[in-house]
Structure 1
């Protein structure tokens, strides 16, 4: 680059991108797409966790209101999307199947509780897997983006030194724009990685808390069924 042509506009993002080597451009485009991908996951998780917790609060309030569990389960519909009503319906189904049989021995009652626990554990496992979808994407972007950006920087610096050697001019006005182009790739890598890293840790914590909430609800359901069985004895 002609030193006389260097100006503040030479260091804006668009100019740095357009002037960069084609390999560095590919790195920048890839990192920008990875950042867009991670932000799509981040926004989806933000709205999803908010909706899940809001629905869970509403359902738990209904259960704690003292109304019949059968009535609450019926209001949830045949195929509720939320895990809590599915857990309630699954537990009540096992309870109805056992109630249709004549006299329950202690062994049969214990077997019923085990069946209910298996049903609830299955629902919890599937729901935990569902809410963790997308976290792998955030982990990949968070860990890989800085290294991809660093690769673009190293490649750009090598290309810049080659151009400097050809021009046989090592003045700062010649070196600075070329180095800036290379470092811009690392900057984009960090811009992609930092939000993904923060979001991954935040949503992993949220997913763990929600799974614990499901497990607590499952324990309460199991206790309620045991109480009903003891009342029948």
Structure 2
């Protein structure tokens, strides 16, 4: 007689599947650097669906996999051009000048062509943006289970809090799904020697160390494999 499937396994598998969807969508829609020639080619082919000018990216790698970069702009349009193409891809490039300067330059001509095109002007988020927002849902589910579920065994609740929020790309979340209760039925480790679970400061240190390590790894892989496969802004 087959044993019934545990609801915990169903929830575990569902959360893992949602993380995979989120991770793939985040990789696919991560802003990829291009050159102005690519912007002109996409515009000429009608591939630019929306675009926005700005001065710089606000954010970069943050101490949370729920952290996303956003485009910042001051009083006038800046030299950073961001656009989306069919399929939800986001690209950006640095144009040659700021709006209003040297109106005969290629950058100003590109700006005018964009204004005359059918591309919508607005914050380019890509068609898969709702999927990249699922990290918030996963984090809320994690916090609810951590708070109201059985006491964790490997580390304290605060340990897992910092690991899951701090380890980039949600790999701390995956580690929690694979190793900790309620997904594992290991007995508590509160033996005669006392509570040996990992404390909050260990989780905090793991988050910082992995954030730094992931930044270095992305930088190295970006140089070795290219922007298409490993975008420099993969960590948001």
Taking structure 1 as the reference length, what is the TM-score of the superposition? 0.32
Q: Higher helix proportion, which one?
A: 1
Which has the greater radius of gyration?
Answer: 1
Q: Higher strand proportion, which one?
A: 2
Taking structure 2 as the reference length, what is the TM-score of the superposition? 0.32
